[in-house]
Amino acid sequence: MTTVVLACGEVPPALSDALRDAVPDAVRLAAVPGRRELKMLDGIASTYLPVDPTPSLDEIAAQPDVPHQADPRPAPQQPDEPVRIVVVGSDAALAAVVTRLMRIDAMWVSVGFVPTDGTSLIAQNWGLGDDQLPTPAAALEFALRGPARPTAVVRDDAGIVTLGCAEIFHAGATLVGEVIVDSQTLFLNQDATTWDGRPGPYGARFVPTTGAPGLAAARLTTPSVWDAVAAARPPRKRLFRTPAQPGGVDPDEVLTGRALQAGGVDLTVVRDTVVHPRTVSSVTFYRHLRDGQFVRR
């Protein structure tokens, strides 16, 4: 197996020592690598799989029984040699790497993750917490040698992957709009001053599911922890900070599905701790046509 380790941003000393001992040739990248830095992934994919003989994304979408709506499956591609990318960094860094792999249609590459702080929601989703992997060396070893498991991947209409959590809200106010999961209404709020008696027309949060159908969503019952950040619109470099804890959600109404659509007034979208730089009037998240191959529990 060919393994490439991407060390993104500042790495804590204990993890840095483990990384130096195990992977002295790790590639150093920015805290959240951009397209220019991640272009290296294009070359890796084309080297080990010059031609993809499997159906294209358009061909998959045209099939009458689209298999991606079922449980995730192993990648059908057979590269010349298995390839693994291991990301050492934040949730935002990992999401950037997987987004690049998705955009070049290289989801057959297995991906490992070593979080650099204890607040990673992706680590929680993937079973990579300190209780399972108590030391930096154990976390790195699992990312390098653990099994890659087929995993549902959620993307949006901007072509950006969400792996840990996404939130949609109106900064500084209640959300006027509608959020739908598949054909079910999560909430409908047409007036910023009224509500139907249920707590919090503040917005919605979803987390991807590792298996079918793709995502699980709930209403925010308190303002998002990102609300003040988004309302102030600070310089972009500050948007990658991780909140101490998420806002509250309604645990009694969780909807699961393959897609989430939101429409409303000045929607702020936060994906894996990254605040979208502009408000939008609508956004759609949906399960990608290809599954990921992620090193997780």
Residue ranges of domains in the chain: 2-152, 161-287
**What is the average pLDDT value for the chain, to the nearest integer?**
88
Architecture of the domain delimited by 2-152:
3-Layer(aba) Sandwich (3.40)
CA distances from 180 to 219, 253, 259 (A): 11, 13, 8
**pTM passes above 0.85:** yes
Place of tokens 């002295």: 24
C-alpha dihedral sign at 293, 40, 2, 296: negative
Place of tokens 């599911």: 209
Determine the pLDDT at residue 230: 67
Determine the pLDDT at residue 171: 85
Range in 71-80, 90-99, 227-236 the model is least confident about: 227-236
State the pLDDT confidence band at 143, using cuts at 50, 70 and 90. Answer: very high
Residue 165 has pLDDT above 90, yes or no: yes
The domain over range 161-287 is classified in CATH as 3.30.70: no
Residue 226 vs residue 232, higher pLDDT: 226
* Sequence-ordered list of residues with C-beta below 8 angstroms from that of 39, at least 6 positions apart, any chain: none
DSSP string, 144-201: HHSPEEEE--EEETTS-EESS-EEEE-TTS---EEEEETTEEEEEE--TT---SSS--
Residue 228 has pLDDT above 80, yes or no: no
| Percent of the chain residues past pLDDT 90, beyond the cut | 71
The answer to whether 140 and 21 are in contact (CB under 8 A) is no
Q: Which ranges of the chain would DSSP assign to H, the alpha helix?
A: 13-22, 35-38, 40-48, 57-61, 91-103, 121-126, 136-145, 227-232
- Residues 268-290 have a mean pLDDT of 95
The answer to whether 162 and 272 are in contact (CB under 8 A) is yes
- Residues 113-128 have a mean pLDDT of 93
Residue 242 has pLDDT above 50, yes or no: no
- Residues 218-238 have a mean pLDDT of 66
Determine the pLDDT at residue 68: 52
